[in-house]
Amino acid sequence: MSSGDRKPVHHAVYDTYADWETGHTTAYLARAGYGIRTVGPTGEPVTSIGRLRVQPDLALDDVRPEDSSLLILPGADLWDTSDDLAPFARKAREFLDAGVPVAAICGATAGLAREGLLDDREHTSAVSFYLAATGYGGGGRYVDADAVTDRGLITAGPTEPVAFAREIFGLLGVYEGEVLDAWYRLFHHSDAEAYAVLEQAGAQQ
């Protein structure tokens, strides 16, 4: 599939979103030819934890799974302090029901737990008791891992933005096999030897 045929990736943005959690993901998806479209609660600007002001490309109500390759949900203080972001968890259900993948990291995993989306899928988060506090029914499916993919849903904890990106690249076929492993080793382990693998594959442009 040429880059011009790829549907865009939709990246949720909302007040207090954790701007560092998805930087590896969006940078290398863009390099691979994916359009990145930001999605806010409305069309009004939002402000990240790092005080970055973002003007969303479109409002949540205007996002349709059939127009997307992936929905990314970053963490945010608001996932734990209010119900303001519950509509994003409901949108995630809509995506998964339509067979379009969703990737959630940090606090967004708690939002999906409250929505019931982790009850029957293997998943991870910051720690198991963080999700247990939501009262969800999926505790038996919790995996102590840096990132987990199960039936179109990727989850990761707040300290694993590189593993989160790795799972997304693998799911979308951006990088595969040795190249995917090398990308992860370079950015997660500072493995200089991995750079040569990426350079040879044209993955470091």
Question: Is 106 one of the catalytic residues?
Answer: yes
Asked if 126 and 148 touch (Cβ cutoff 8 Å), the reply is no
Give me the helices (H) in 12-160, please. Answer: 23-31, 78-81, 86-97, 107-114, 128-132
* Cα distance between residue 8 and residue 90, in whole Å: 20
Neighbours of 61 (CB within 10 A): 11
* Cα distance between residue 160 and residue 127, in whole Å: 12
H/E stretch holding 54 reads strand 53-54
Residue 65 Cα to chain centre, angstroms: 15
E strands present in the chain: 9-12, 36-40, 46-47, 53-54, 58-59, 70-73, 102-105, 147-150, 153-156
Question: Any bridge partners for residue 12, and if so which?
Answer: 39
Q: What is the DSSP letter of 105?
A: E
The one catalytic residue in 106, 131, 165, 197 is 106
Question: Any bridge partners for residue 102, and if so which?
Answer: 71, 153
* Cα distance between residue 17 and residue 74, in whole Å: 6
- Any idea which residues carry the catalytic annotation? 106
